[in-house]
Structure 1
Amino acid sequence: MSTLRTSQKDAYGLILEAIDSGVYRPGDRLVESDLADRFGVSRTPIREALQRLETQSLLTRDGRSLIVASLDHNQMAELYAVRTELEGLAARLAARHATAEEVQVLQEMVEADRARIDDPHALARANRRFHTQIHLASHNRFLVQQLDLVHRSMALMATTSLAAQGRGVTALAEHAKIVDAIRRRDEGGASGALRDHISQAFVTRLKLDSEARSDQ
C-alpha cells in the first residue's frame, strides 16, 4: 500500500512538473500509455494522477481525450484577481513573521536573479521560487496551500510575462522593493508592493495575449 501511494504521488508530481515547465502546453493531449512510458510508472497511478489533475481543472476533456487546459480572458482575469489578494496577504504576513534568515534568502534571490535577466525561462523558474519563499515566510500553512493551487493554475498560461521586452528588469526592481519592505517590517508597504507587482505582470500578460491574437 505504501509503495502504491508513493507511485501515485510521484506520477502526479511528474505530470504537474511537466506542465509547469512547458513540456506539455495548453491544448496538448495526455495519453496514459505515453505518460507511463515517459516517466517509467505503471498506468494505474498515471490514470489516478490524471483524474486528480482533471478534478483540479488543470486538465479538461476533448471528447474522450484529456488535454492540458487553457485559460480564456475571463478566467485569466479571475485568477489574477485571486492571486493579487492572496499574494498581498502573504507579503503582509511575511513582513510580520519572516525570520532574519528568511529575509536574507529573499535578498540573495534578488541578487542572483540579476544574472538571469536575459534568460526569461530561467527567470520564470527563479520567479516561482521567489514567490514560494514569500509564501513560506508568511508562516501560514493554509495560505501556502491556497497559493500553491493558484500557482499550479498559472502553469496553464502558454508563455511567461517575463518574456516581454524589458519586463525582467522591471520585475526584478519590483522584487527588490517587496523584499525591502519585508525587511523593514512594513506590512502595508510589502503588501502594496507585491500587489503592484502582480498588477504589472497582469498588464504585461494582457499585452502579450493581444499581440498573439493580432498575429493569428
Structure 2
Amino acid sequence: MTQSRDAQLLTEKAQEALSAALRSGRLRDGQFLSMSQLVTMLGLPLAAVREAVKHASSQGLLVTLPKRGIRVMEARPETIRDCLDFRMALDQEGARRRIAGADLAGLDTLRRRHQDFRETALRSAAGGTPDAAIEVDLSLHDFLAAGLGNPQLASAYAANRMRIAIIQNARPFLQDRIVSAMEEHLAIIDALDNRDTGAATKAIRHHFEQTLRWWGVT
C-alpha cells in the first residue's frame, strides 16, 4: 500500500512539475524532446513522468511520437481560435449563472485590480510585466469559470487554461495590448455589476474577437 501511495505521489508531483514547465515557458509550443530529456528537466523518475505525459497528452497539451519523443502543442491559428472560442463559451455561461444567482462577491476587488493595472500601464511605458498582466487577465476568466458551479466544466476550463498558457508564452502579452485588454475586462465587470446578461455576453465576445485580432488570427 505504501509503495503504491508513493508512486501516486510521484506521479502527482510529475504532473505539477510538467504543468509548471508549460506555464512558465520552459517547455514552449512545438518544442520536441525525448523522454529522457524531459525526465532530466523535471528531475523525477521515468515512470512518474510517463504517467504525467499520458495525462497531459489526454488534454491536448503534448503529442507523443512513438519511438521518437514528445512534442509540445503547437500554437497554430486554428488551435488559438478553438481554445479562445472554448473559453468564451465557458465565460459567457459563467457570467449568466453568476448574474442569475446574484453570485458576484469579489467583483469590486476584480475591478480595482484591473483599474490599477490599467492606470499603471497608461502612466509608464514599462507598465506591468507580461507575467503580471497575464495574472490580472486570468483573474476575471477564473472568476467566470468558478461561477459555472460544475466540477466537470471546471476541469475542462483548467485544461483549456493550460493550452492558453502555452499560446501566451508563444505570443507575449505586449505593452500595447495591456491597456485595451484591461478596458475590455472592465466592460465585462461593469455588465456583471449591472446584472445585464446581454451586455456581459456581448462584452465577452468582443474581448474574444479583439484577442484573436491581437494574436493575428482571422
Q: CA deviation at 1:25?
A: 0.4
2:6 to 3, 6, 21: 3
1:123 aligns with 2:127: no
1:93 to 85, 93, 97: 97
| Equivalence for 1:190 | 200
| Equivalence for 1:154 | 164
Question: Percent identity among equivalent residues?
Answer: 23
Q: CA deviation at 1:10?
A: 1.9
For residues 18-167 of structure 1, what are the structure 2 equivalents within 5 Å? 18-62=21-65, 64-97=68-101, 99-114=103-118, 115=120, 117-157=127-167, 158-160=169-171, 162-163=173-174, 166-167=176-177
2:39–2:45 CA contact under 8 A, matched in 1: yes
| Alpha-carbon separation, structure 1, partners of 2:43 and 2:102 | 40
Q: Deviations over 1:98-132 (max 9, x none)?
A: 54532233223323433464422321233223311
In terms of mean alpha carbon deviation, does 179-188 or 59-68 score higher? 59-68
| Equivalence for 2:124 | none
Q: Residues 5 and 196 of structure 1: is their aligned pair in 2 closer, same or farther, counting only changes over 3 Å?
A: same
| Alpha-carbon separation, structure 1, partners of 2:171 and 2:101 | 30
What is the Cα-based RMSD across aligned positions, in Å?
2.5
Where do 5+ consecutive residues of structure 1 fail to align? 211-216
Runs of 4+ deviating beyond 4 Å: none
Q: Deviations over 1:62-103 (max 9, x none)?
A: 561101120333333333332322222222222233545322
| Alpha-carbon separation, structure 2, partners of 1:100 and 1:61 | 42
Q: CA deviation at 1:174?
A: 1.0
TM-score (structure 2 length as normaliser): 0.81
Where do 5+ consecutive residues of structure 2 fail to align? 122-126
Q: CA deviation at 1:20?
A: 1.8
Q: Residues 31 and 65 of structure 1: is their aligned pair in 2 closer, same or farther, counting only changes over 3 Å?
A: closer
